[in-house]
Amino acid sequence: MTTNNDTTVIGRAVYLEMTKDTTVLQLLLMPEGYSKSQRFTPMTCFRRRLTPAAPRKTWRMISAHTTSPAERVSTSGIVGDAERNKAIADKILRFLDPTFSSLSANNYKLSHDPIVVEVTTEDLDCSLTGKTPYKVLGRALKVRKAMGLPADVVPKPGI
């Protein structure tokens, strides 16, 4: 989906919309990787809660535990065995446990299939500096539109 031919796709982000009554929670999960400035960026989650009374809110950011290269890669340069990889993935994803536990306890429901979009090194620079990756969100909203979903993320009152 990126239009710049010299841009390298380095991963995939997942965009989710969870609903409860007229409240919509948007989540954008960015992968870990190296940014354009060659700095390691941990997995990051951007989220915001929208309502008809507050249809525009700022994105909040939380980041995962940063794993070291030694944890991710074995001495031979090949990622280790399945058990080791599972332990590393559990460690990386643990930061999302409170978010998803809260969503489940408060009866939020996934409103449509998750949307997966490409991520570039420039997008990871945004995550690294704490800025919202609007280009990634733009790609997700394009896919959302192509899926035939309404243009407004938050339903209007009375609908």
pLDDT at 120: 92
Helices (H), 94-152: 97-105, 121-129, 134-146
Per-residue pLDDT tens over the stretch 118-134: 999 999 998 888 899 99
Confidence of residue 75 (pLDDT cuts 50, 70, 90): very low
CB 13 within 8 A of CB 28: yes
User: Residue 133 CB: number of other CB atoms within 10 A?
Assistant: 24
DSSP class of 37: T
Enter the pTM of the model.
Answer: 0.82
CB 157 within 8 A of CB 52: yes
Each domain of the chain, given as residue ranges in start order, spans: 9-64+107-146
Per-residue pLDDT tens over the stretch 139-157: 999 999 999 988 788 776 6
Residues contacting residue 154 through CB under 8 Å, at least 6 positions apart: 22, 24, 50, 51, 52, 55
Closest CA to 128 of 43, 17, 57, 16: 43
